[in-house]
Amino acid sequence: MTRPWSSMDVPLAVVEADIAAAHFEQAAGRTKSPSDQIAFRLDAWLVKHPDDVRAAAAAYPDWPAQFAAIKAAHSSTTAGEADRV
């Protein structure tokens, strides 16, 4: 006898997040790299708490101008590279 998914107590999205988190935790356990372990464990937390991490444009009001300045500076330093090849 099988039960339909709709009759389960836990929503399917929660089950999928739990499975993904378990895979990330397993990956963290398999690697010997401390930075990879941190990254995999952060991934596991993020898939289980997708609404906890938010960035609002209001939190970074200067970012578009800063990005444009970085892009312009990079363009001006790499503009002549094609001519030197």
State pLDDT tens for residues 47-62.
998 887 777 777 788 8
Average pLDDT over residues 63-70: 89
Say if CB 41 and CB 24 are below 8 A apart. yes
How far apart, in Å, are the Cα atoms of 43 and each of 25, 38, 52, 55, 73? Answer: 9, 9, 13, 17, 33
Is the per-residue pLDDT at 33 higher than 90? yes
User: In degrees, to the nearest 5, what angle opens at C-alpha 42 toward C-alphas 36 and 49?
Assistant: 160
Cα separations in angstroms, 82 against 71, 72, 75, 76: 17, 17, 12, 12
